[in-house]
Structure 1
Amino acid sequence: MAGWIEMVSQIRRPHLGEDVSVLVFRAFRVFMGIYLDDVLGHKGAITLFQNAGRELGKEVGEKLKEESLEAYLGKVIDFVKDARIGILVPVDVNRERLVVALDECITCAGMPNIGKRICHFEAGFVAGIVETYTNKKVRAYETKCNAHGENICEVVVELNYA
């Protein structure tokens, strides 16, 4: 999958431009999740979204790679904000785990409580970012989600998973 960011970044929309509304993004993203849940089952859909997010996170992580954790996290935080994905806030960083909050999440900020967490792609993205830095397989999962009525998204990454 490497190199696909360059491929999809080639945009030729002389009249409509590069920007797309959050509503359109969410319609595509959320309805795809509902469809995959119906076709693959809940666990299959979660796995697919997490794995896709992980691959994107790895590719982005390679582009942002820094020697020091602080510099790397700073670049990741800036990327997430500049790309308007949300505002990434490290909550807890230690040898066992990393906890990050994603405020103003593009996928679900402001949504009503639908009774389930839906940001599995984002959890996978964070996992890929961390795996790029550590060169180790990690486990990541969402523990809070706006769509579950929790007013923020939060991802826990277990660093000693393998």
Structure 2
Amino acid sequence: MEQILGQIAKIKREKLGTEIPLLLFRALRHYTHFYASDLLGEKGANILLFNAGKTLGEDIGKSIHDDDLNQYLKNVAEFVEKEKIGILKLVELSDSKMVAQLDECITCSGMDNIGKRICHFEVGFVAGLVEHFLGKKVIARETKCNANGEGVCEVTVYFS
């Protein structure tokens, strides 16, 4: 997978550049979920997006790795903001869990309240970043979501 990430990072478009409008990203993201739900059911689609995010998180973790936790977290936050995924803030870190909030989430910031949490890809992404650093499996849950009317996206990661 790391090879794929390297190839993606090299992509250049001479006239159009490397950025796409948020509207197009969201259309691709949300229609992919709708299609996957038709094929796999809602839970299957959520797992698919989570696992895709987790794989990307692991690969990004390798590329921005630092043995110092504080520096690693800084690298992660800088990457997330630079790539316009959102603004990542660590709000809690203990021996048993980590809570991170993603403000201006690429998937759902500014959406109407649809009454459910939908940032499965982002939760997987955070889980992958944490698993890479710790070298062990974690449990990650979305504990707040803009699309659920909660004002921010939040991921809680439990260390196993």
The answer, yes or no, to whether TM exceeds 0.5 is yes
Q: CA–CA distance in 2 between the matches of 1:132 and 1:43?
A: 25
CA pair 11-46 structure 1, distance change in 2 beyond 3 A? same
Q: CA deviation at 1:13?
A: 2.0
Q: Trace 1:127-138 onto structure 2 (pairs within 5 A).
A: 127-138=127-138
SS at match of 1:88: strand
Counterpart of 2:107 in structure 1 is 107
The runs of 5 or more residues in structure 2 that have no matched partner are none
Note the alpha carbon deviations across 1:20-65, whole angstroms, 9 max, x for none.
1001000000111112122211111111111110100000001111
The number of residue pairs the alignment matches comes to 160
CA distance in 2, matches of 1:68, 1:14: 38
Letter in 2 for 1:128: G
For residue 19 of structure 1, report the CA deviation from its aligned partner.
1.5
Q: Could you tell me how far apart the structure 1 residues matched to 2:70 and 2:12 are? A: 36
| Superposition deviation, residue 120 in structure 1 | 0.3
**Deviation of residue 11 (structure 1)?**
2.2
1 CA distance for matches of 2:98 and 2:38? 32
Deviations 1:57-83 (A, max 9, x none): 000001111111111101101110111
Residue in 2 that maps onto 1:123: 123
Q: Structure 1 counterpart of 2:33, which letter?
A: G
User: Following the alignment from structure 1 to structure 2, what is the Cα–Cα distance between the partners of residues 44 and 10?
Assistant: 32
- 1:63 and 1:2 mapped to 2: Cα distance? 9
Q: How far apart are 1:143 and its partner, in Å?
A: 1.0
Q: Alignment partner of 1:102: what SS?
A: strand
In the alignment, which residue of structure 2 is the partner of 1:88?
88
Gaps of 5+ in 1: none
Q: Percent identity?
A: 49
Instruction: Please show how residues 22-37 of structure 1 align to structure 2 within 5 Å.
Output: 22-37=22-37
Partner in structure 2 of residue 73 of structure 1: 73
TM-score (norm 1): 0.95
TM-score scaled by length of structure 2: 0.96
**Mean Cα deviation higher: 92-101 or 1-10:** 1-10
- Determine helix, strand or coil for the equivalent of 1:132: helix
